[in-house]
Structure 1
Amino acid sequence: MSGIFISFEGPDGAGKTTALKKLMPLLQEKTNKEIVLSREPGGSSISEKIRKIILDIHDEEMDPRTEALLYAASRRQHLIDVILPTLEAGKIMLSDRFVDSSIAYQGGGREIGTEAVSKINDFAIDGHLPDLTIYFDISPEVGLSRIRKDHEGQMDRLEKEKLDFHKRVHASYLEIVKNNPERIVTIDADQVPEKVVADALEAILKRFPEIFNEGE
């Protein structure tokens, strides 16, 4: 495949989605390749339907393994409907979350086990890992305070979890970063938004200089 696949990860409250919206036009200015932005869970028609089930605040009785399987199912459909066609067309694929999220949230946060969740997702993604992952790091305490301030009354089922859950998620993310130094670049998300975006942009330009200089 001639395209580039970049995923963006981080605990709740890291500001990842906001940074991505500001980052995309800056990247587009520097390349002639089309950039496609998507998200998980969701990103395609079927995957968005699964997203509604996963994040519904009324589904508190959902079993952790059911949740993990639903994420993997949504991811598989997103891969087939959006990611692979984008890469096959030689475009740049930006995904707001991918497989690392499940390993951190369901494997660590839900305490199912990172190895078990990795196996589920290995089947789902069939070897299609991102070429680069930008991880926005923030402490659970700061992340939760941001969520409660910015998402008051609109928090989803995972955002509503207690601090201990988010601490496990954060610890799992740090372990994933440690085990994947070639793929993952860490950005300090506890900075002003402009600096977070600038650092992410620099990391991408550094990794793919042959792609992001065509527009200059």
Structure 2
Amino acid sequence: MPSDETRAPVDVVVLVSGSGTLLQALIDAAADSTYGVRIAAVGADRDGIAGLERAERAGIPTFVCRVKDYASRDEWDAALTERTAAYDPGLVVSAGFLKLVGAAFLARFGGRYLNSHNALLPSFPGIHGPRDALEYGVRIAGATLFVVDEGVDTGAIVAQCAVPVLDDDTEESLTERIKQAERPQLVEYVGRMAREGFVVDGRRVRLGRA
């Protein structure tokens, strides 16, 4: 049985929709052979984004599945599933991927598809977490890493980090400060889940091999 030091890295597919700052944090971490992750491919739902350029500069294969290229959302989901499955990933990570996957994708990757959200779930799900937190008047915001399920930001939580909300915060300043905390959390836990293994048990995610 190989030790943790000799265990082969886990292949990970990262999905992006924009600038790819979370992706870049993972690329940088994976350059260390002890991290335990090999980014096998980067997928996107649109062309011409900085996230794809980051992957290409790092020599990582890329693919694009645009919703508008398919007759239905189900067909898009099936295509995304097959393109992702071609790399046989042990984990799939949504790093700012702004599309909800469907039944086919979750049937294939359920329990090992991770998403990082810029709010402290279950509060403020959806695409405007920092804005909604500011409007509600909370004093603590943050980021949540979770295992994606059929709901919208409802999956079992892997990790959370807290970020204070300042009196002069705008949506932009709070979003950026959350990103600064979100990136190291994502890097830490993707690496740990790859190296140590993990089990999803109801609402609990436990690190370590069964």
| TM bucket, shorter chain | 0.3 to 0.5
Highest RCO, 1 vs 2 (Cα 8 Å, sep ≥ 6): 1
TM-score, normalised via structure 1 length: 0.40
Structure ranking higher in strand proportion: 2
Structure ranking higher in helix proportion: 1
